[in-house]
Amino acid sequence: MKPETVKKESKEIWTSRIGKKTQTGEKTIGKENKVMRKSKPIASILCAAILAVSALSACSSAVSENAQETSSQAESADFGEEGAGANDAQEREKSQEEKEAENAADSAGDASAGKNQPFTLTSREYAEAMGHGWNLGNSFDGVDTDESKEDKGETEWGNPAVTRELIHAIKEQGFDSIRIPMTFFKRYTVEDGNYVADEEWLVRYKEVVDWAVEEGLYVMVNIHHDSWIWLKYWDGDKESDEYLRFVQLWEQLADYLKDEPEQVCFETINEPDFEGESDEEKQEKLDAINLAAYDVIRASGGNNAERMIVIPTMNTNHEKSEPLLKLIQELDDRHIIATVHYYGEWVFSANLGITGFDEAMDDDGKTARTAADSAMETVYQTFIQNDIGVVIGEYGVLGYDQGEKCNQPGEELKYYEYVNELAAKYGLCLMFWDNGSGIDRVSGNYNWKKPQVGEMLKASMEGRSSYATELDTLYFAEEAEEDVPVALTLNGNTFSGIEGLTEGEEYSYDESTATVTINKDYINKLYAESSKEGRFGELVFTFSSGADWTEKLVRFGTPEFKEASGTTEGLTVPADYHGTDIRRISAFSGEKHTGPQSSWWKYLQNSEAFDVKEDALVLNNSFFNECAEGEIKLVIEFFDGQTKEVWLTKNGNKVSVKPE
């Protein structure tokens, strides 16, 4: 997609913190783009369009007066309420015809209706309005770093081109905001020492931003993988290539989107990190980068004088919040939001053997749940209590796209439920990271690939959900000898029943202890009907509010592993799991742990050191690279309580496995 007309002109920007003049090629697109703050009912739009003809001059006058007032506010350092009050008075004086004419102009795509608007939301109000968000991951941020290869743009990492229907589906799923990560690398040229962003890339990116605006979504514009591709190598000198490149690209991006409405915010950089130096020196670099983007945005005209700017901590880590607080307070700007990312505790989120959300991670009793408490309390005390809004720009579990054999499905759902509860408690915006593994972008139906995840996320936008206190799976090696209790964590809801079953017959419920007891005769009936090992039944628990909870019934036997030999590049060990599931694996050389992270941790990482297949256990090259020579003992634990030992011999690059 190309602009109809392109005008190039020289532009000088001077900012006190950048401390130098930079020459950039500014590109102004002749065709005005449609800007809408909200979707309007069709009837109102038609009515307003008819009235617009007679009221056009009055509308133009009102827009002009409003622009002058906003420009005056932007020049002032006082962010008090006086200007807002004057604007309210002006609004009350407008006739109904004038207001409807303005709406018609907005709906017809008059870009001037979006310019120089008064931005009324404070940092905290804005973050709360962003509510529940979604990341358009692995699309505009996807890039092949091999510069010899042709750039495939937004389809580079396997996702299809973004459609308007996808953006509409995000709104229909209940999300309030969307983060659109974008990588500039390979999407610019160098002209006379200046970095000039690709015009078609900006046009296409803006098209998707505008689709989101028209859906009524808040939009976070984001420079993404440039952070680790080239910016992390900046040496701290403001004359260096990386700094100048960052400034020039932000100059063009800010200018190109300067007339977007208030619901579009700019995030300076994704997950910043820098090589080498001490933490203090890295932080100085980040401060300089954040200030450079801030000053460029504020100086770029249009609505950018008051646009909300989102600034990250180092590595977007909540534990590194204090330096960002200091920077924001020094700027004294109510239109700044702080951002961190939250993927939970690594040993749970990526599954290094800790599979339960409430499972103790070490001797101190800390769990993934209490770690979430601590993280959200940190950003609340650091930023929210200082009137600074917070966006959790990415959250999820690190094993999400590794399949259901990585994170335990029910425990993953508990994580989503609780983190959303904490966000509601503290007034934070949460933005789910989706690289294409979440919502199905390929088939065109835009449904969740993991339906229970979608149901839990949607329910969590409205309130709390209930679930089984223990695992979401009941394992049976033989027929049940007794009735089976399932304790519930209700989170303020009440238990309604089990789909298709009758209370007093197939199950009973003790309200005082919130315990459902499944009749053994019902379980044994299902057990007898299925002679195969594996899942033989599902119980769908329903509640007064929130998502349903599915409790699975599984028939299992003793897992078996067979002999195998191969190389350290990777070894596939044939296995028959007989219906059960691996919980975790530890590796020993003698009495000591061996393998990745063994210097500080006791379990191997699922989907990194090993992969669980339907009929095999795969030991990966990353495991062999860091495990000892000689005889290795693998201790494999299963969710049903069984433990198996598998003996491995490593001799140079040759490996073999002999089961217990």
Q: Is the pLDDT of residue 504 over 80?
A: yes
Per-residue pLDDT tens over the stretch 108-146: 333 333 445 568 899 999 999 999 999 999 999 999 999
Chain centre distance of CA 97: 43
Per-residue pLDDT tens over the stretch 420-444: 999 999 999 999 999 999 999 999 8
For the whole model, what pTM was predicted? 0.82
Pairing of strands 582-589, 630-638: antiparallel
**Band of the pLDDT at 10, cuts 50, 70, 90?**
very low
Per-residue pLDDT tens over the stretch 239-248: 999 999 999 9
User: Considering Cα of 7, then 12, then 15, then 20, what sign does the dihedral take?
Assistant: positive
Beta strands, E only, 174-298:
177-182, 188-191, 194-197, 218-223, 264-267
Tell me, what's the pLDDT at 116? 52
Which two structure tokens, joined as six digits, stand for 593?
Answer: 């742990």
Q: Is the pLDDT of residue 510 over 50?
A: yes
For residues 397 and 423, give the distance between their C-alpha atoms in angstroms, rounded to a whole number: 16
Burial of 519 (C-beta count, 10 Å sphere; 0-12/13-18/19+): middle
Q: Is the pLDDT of residue 107 over 60?
A: no
For residues 466 and 488, give the distance between their C-alpha atoms in angstroms, rounded to a whole number: 7
Inter-residue contact 107 to 49 (CB < 8 Å): yes
For residues 518 and 527, give the distance between their C-alpha atoms in angstroms, rounded to a whole number: 13
For residues 269 and 262, give the distance between their C-alpha atoms in angstroms, rounded to a whole number: 20
Average pLDDT over residues 531-539: 95
Q: How many residues does the chain have?
A: 660
Between the alpha carbon of residue 654 and those of residues 249, 563, 569, the distances in Å are: 50, 14, 9
Which two structure tokens, joined as six digits, stand for 415?
Answer: 């994580």
Per-residue pLDDT tens over the stretch 177-222: 999 999 999 999 999 989 999 999 999 999 999 999 999 999 999 9
Tell me, what's the pLDDT at 363? 86
Average pLDDT over residues 57-64: 36
